[in-house]
Structure 1
Amino acid sequence: MSNTGVNKWPILNYETLKDTIANVHMWTQMIGKIRLVQTPWINHSWHVTLYISATGLTTGSIPYHDGTFQIDLDFISHQLHITTSTGKTCHFKLGAFTVASFYDQLFNSLQTVGINVEISAIPNEVDPAIPFRENNQPATYNAGVMNNYWQALVKINNVFTEFRAGFSGKCSPVHLFWGAFDLAVTRFSGRTAPKHPGGAPNIPLEVMQEAYSHEVSSCGFWPGSDQFPQPAFYSYCYPTPGDFGSQKVSPPEAFYDTTMGEFFLTYDVVQQAANPEKTLLQFMQSTYDAAARTGNWNSNLQCDFSDLKNS
């Protein structure tokens, strides 16, 4: 499914992706909600996210009683793995399950290894929000398509991690928010922000306001939608200065969407570039510069730790 050549980024096509991604999106919502209820609240909902792993997506360690457990979606062997600190494990094969069927298999597997959790079994940030147990709509899981998408996430994760390293101020991990199924990294100015007005579907206002309690500049990657049928990188800031969207950014294919209030760069532009990593870093850096310049951020927050790597 991916391009020839070890350094090439895989080709992504929304029409090919969308059905498998829609299904996996619901799986990650269930898994993320398990992490949410078992983990102490960390600012800006950082305790709910998933991470890119060497095989797919992972929760990382989740507290439970006097130990931990971990849930992994493996997009190489196409299995879900549950691992506990007591030595108990369980797994099942991924496939074209309905959302309701996956929900039953997931929670039955958790009980098998001695984990009993309850979640709010309704998806967030989607509309309509069909309860997991009631969603018996036909579902798709194309293993090759999902592996290809995950390979793209691996490439993107590495660039996001490099970008994150160039900032000495408060900065989020590089993590996947299962609400909108986007990989993101966020920088903070250190100043508080006006209360966020909310607006995301099926997410409490107080959660949105806590997430945006401080000034941010955020970059991310998103698989697209029927309204915007292209995988794309985005960059926004909150609050948004009036002249943010008029700033010059790179590469030249990047554009500002006045409706969304964000800069965008389609994945195709990066994938087809002579140096995809450099092209993506240009987008991330130039849009951050636009936010910092128009928002009057402290210029000393950028840093270079490269000399320490060889010390």
Structure 2
Amino acid sequence: MTSPDATSAWPGLRVEDWVDTRDTLHLWTQVVGKVRLARSPLVNHWWQVTLYVTPRGLSTGSVPDRHRIFDVELDVVEHEMRIRTSDGTGRTIALAPMTVADFYAQMMGALDELGIEADFQTRPNEVEPSIPFAQDTVHASYDREAARLFWGQLVASHRVMGKFRSHFVGKVSPVHFFWGSFDLACTRFSGRPAPEHPGGAPNCGDWVMVEGYSRELSSCGFWPGGGEEGAFYAYAYPEPEGFSAHPVTPAQARYSVENGQFLLPYEAVRTARDPDRALLDFLQTTYEAAAEHGDWDRAALEDDPARWSHPR
């Protein structure tokens, strides 16, 4: 670990120091996310399936269940998973080193006790290999400190990405966490349709990507990979001519031909004199690469979030 304190504004966490925990936690979030997927009506681009950063970890938010609602939260402060329902019932599962198979069994058992039905494909998506949850005894790591440090990275990223989001008045996603790709993301849309996406994500139907990329977009986010401590990314779909050559800041940002996106190492932000400013510069200049080369109507899509800043 490179930071002893998960409460620091920009905690350091080397990917190689927690890769086993990262991969296990990724699969746990897939189980939790699929429960939300099973119970929630479709919202464009699969926004109904994501998780949200909370003051304790990651949560489904409120999920409908007949006459009531429930939520599931992975609390990495007290290291437990909590399922709570609007009728006052709930269950708690301790987060500790355990196999995905054990986590899945405990999760489904708790849902059954609460009378929550969740019918979903019981194997992970967007990973290779895709081991059925009930059979996965390979992934079984949970390092408490690493989980908290990762959550700290998400908190810092979420805070700045939320500020960036506030400048856009067109269609824009929440700042939310996709459990398939295990990344925090925020996506802006031009308002125009996009060409059909070819798909190709491992163990994921092409139709999933067709829905996800059905409108022209500029997306950014944070992923715990792609760098020593993870990486911020930004891409456009469809990618307009000139996008990859557009000048972006800070200086450590680069366009990855292999990944088809701009990447900025997390550590470049963490160690910057002003980390918030460094990340905002990256988000803004990569968005401008998409908007300018894609001929977006920026005057109609952008505004000052302080336009009603008088006392209220």
TM-score by length of 2: 0.96
Contact 2:9 2:152 in 1 (8 A): no
Partner of 1:303: 303
Structure 1 CA distance, aligned partners of 2:107 and 2:51? 16
How far 1:4 sits from its partner (Å)?
6.4
Secondary structure at the counterpart of residue 102 of structure 2:
helix
Partner of 1:292: 291
Partner of 2:172: 171
Contact 2:249 2:282 in 1 (8 A): yes
Which stretches of structure 1, 4 residues or longer, exceed 6 Å deviation after superposition? none
**Which amino acid counterpart does residue 284 of structure 1 have in structure 2?**
L
Contact 2:173 2:187 in 1 (8 A): yes
Partner of 1:189: 190
Structure 2 CA distance, aligned partners of 1:37 and 1:8? 35
Instruction: Say whether 1:112 aligns with 2:94.
Output: no
Partner of 1:85: 86
Deviations 1:65-115 (A, max 9, x none): 101010000000000000001100110110111010100000111122221
Return closer, same or farther for 1:222/1:130 CA change in 2, 3 Å cut-off: same
Structure 2 CA distance, aligned partners of 1:116 and 1:40? 15
Contact 2:216 2:238 in 1 (8 A): yes
Structure 2 CA distance, aligned partners of 1:229 and 1:127? 22
TM-score by length of 1: 0.96
How far 1:3 sits from its partner (Å)?
5.7
Contact 2:12 2:229 in 1 (8 A): no
Return closer, same or farther for 1:230/1:11 CA change in 2, 3 Å cut-off: closer
Secondary structure at the counterpart of residue 308 of structure 1:
coil
Structure 2 CA distance, aligned partners of 1:5 and 1:224? 19
Gaps of 5+ in 1: none
How far 1:271 sits from its partner (Å)?
0.4
Partner of 1:51: 52
How far 1:8 sits from its partner (Å)?
3.7
**Which amino acid counterpart does residue 208 of structure 2 have in structure 1?**
V
How far 1:138 sits from its partner (Å)?
4.9
Partner of 1:9: 10
Secondary structure at the counterpart of residue 176 of structure 1:
strand
Partner of 1:203: 204
Structure 1 CA distance, aligned partners of 2:32 and 2:237? 28
Structure 1 CA distance, aligned partners of 2:295 and 2:201? 27
Is 10-19 or 263-272 further displaced after alignment? 10-19
Partner of 2:276: 277
Structure 1 CA distance, aligned partners of 2:65 and 2:241? 46
Structure 2 CA distance, aligned partners of 1:3 and 1:77? 17
Contact 2:71 2:83 in 1 (8 A): yes
Aligned residues: 309
How far 1:210 sits from its partner (Å)?
1.1
Deviations 1:145-190 (A, max 9, x none): 1001101110110011101100010000000000010000000000
Partner of 2:235: 236
Gaps of 5+ in 2: none
**Which amino acid counterpart does residue 242 of structure 2 have in structure 1?**
D
**Which amino acid counterpart does residue 262 of structure 1 have in structure 2?**
Q
Is 182-191 or 238-247 further displaced after alignment? 238-247
**Which amino acid counterpart does residue 308 of structure 1 have in structure 2?**
W
How far 1:307 sits from its partner (Å)?
3.5
Contact 2:187 2:219 in 1 (8 A): yes
Contact 1:3 1:9 in 2 (8 A): no
Return closer, same or farther for 1:96/1:149 CA change in 2, 3 Å cut-off: same
Partner of 2:25: 24
Is 42-51 or 241-250 further displaced after alignment? 241-250
Return closer, same or farther for 1:30/1:307 CA change in 2, 3 Å cut-off: same
Deviations 1:192-213 (A, max 9, x none): 0111111111111111111111
Structure 1 CA distance, aligned partners of 2:32 and 2:41? 16
Structure 1 CA distance, aligned partners of 2:206 and 2:5? 46
Return closer, same or farther for 1:69/1:275 CA change in 2, 3 Å cut-off: same
Contact 1:174 1:184 in 2 (8 A): yes
Structure 2 CA distance, aligned partners of 1:160 and 1:5? 19
C-alpha RMSD of the superposition: 1.5
How far 1:242 sits from its partner (Å)?
2.5
